[in-house]
Amino acid sequence: MMEQVMRNFFLYMGKNRVATKVAKRYGMRFGASRFVAGASLDSSVHAIKKLNQKGLSVTIDHLGEFVDNAAEADEMTKHCIEAIERIAKENLDSQLSLKLTSMGLDIDYDMTVKNMRRILKSADQHDVFVTIDMEDFERCDKTIEIFTELKKEFENIGTVLQAYLYRVADDVANLNDLSPNLRLVKGAYKESPKVAFPDKKDVDENFKKIIRMHLLNGNYTAIATHDDQIIEYTKELVKEYNIPRSQFEFQMLYGICVDRQEALLKDGYKMRVYVPYGKDWYGYFMRRLAERPANVAFVLKGMMK
């Protein structure tokens, strides 16, 4: 019960615009640096190089939430292009992840698509793969619609589907004609039981279902999880159906289950680390605390120093 209360609290705080502005003002303190690779692109490049040296692949995400004007969306777009160019220039083993709200989704649909085309043209030029992160249920339809439109024009694009949504198996089936590269996750937003499974057991079973669907459809699959049960299920599934390791990868978050990341790499699996950076770190940080309330202990230690 207490864990659920804490989860709800952190999810609420993660969507609080006032708290987000305060966090921006005071910077990364009290443990956020464990999960966020600094505020600048330079800091993220440093983190990528260290991970690449270990043999770990990366996807970086310039954090940005609550973008509410065209000028800010344009700046976020330019920053994504700068990150793509930097990845290519430094020959980094890294992809790019982004949120459509950062590109202006809550402002204007057509502007968002235009900004995405600018990013994807640069990504094509520099051979950098781009993943559109999934956000909350309210934005799910628009995200899939934009992904579908852009996938018909660009090959170097994927998106994310969330196992806790009732609709997700239909989304996997409906997207199959595109042979999409999908990142499959449990889901980290607070959603109504009208649209999402409230119980972890049901989420886990649905997660296994869509992993199986997408892999057996022959599509590239990124299994983004820290759950040992899901990891072992995937290993057994690919072994049973002789699915090549070139068709899937595991993904985990920067700063979480580091030993597990390196163990999977040692066992010969492709392992990609999601590395967020930027001044707009607060919402992301709150969702990490909501996912794993045990992380609060780490934060409290930081506050005592």
Residues annotated as part of the active site: 133, 183
Q: Distance between CA 98 and CA 276 in Å, rounded?
A: 10
What is the phi-psi region of residue 133: left when phi exceeds 0, alpha when psi lies from -120 to 50, beta otherwise? beta
Question: By the 8 A CB rule, do 67 and 284 touch?
Answer: no
Give Cβ neighbours of residue 260 (< 8 Å, ≥ 6 apart). 226, 228, 231, 252
Q: Distance between CA 213 and CA 176 in Å, rounded?
A: 10
Q: Which of 168, 177, 269, 178 is nearest to 212 (CA)?
A: 168
Amino acid letter, residue 56: L
Question: By the 8 A CB rule, do 23 and 281 touch?
Answer: yes
Q: Which of 93, 80, 162, 87 is nearest to 121 (CA)?
A: 80
Which tokens hold the place of 264?
């999977």
Q: Distance between CA 40 and CA 27 in Å, rounded?
A: 12
Number of separate helices (H) and strands (E) present in the chain:
12, 8
Give Cβ neighbours of residue 2 (< 8 Å, ≥ 6 apart). none
3-state helix, strand, coil in the chain (%, to 5): 55, 15, 30
Q: Distance between CA 181 and CA 160 in Å, rounded?
A: 9
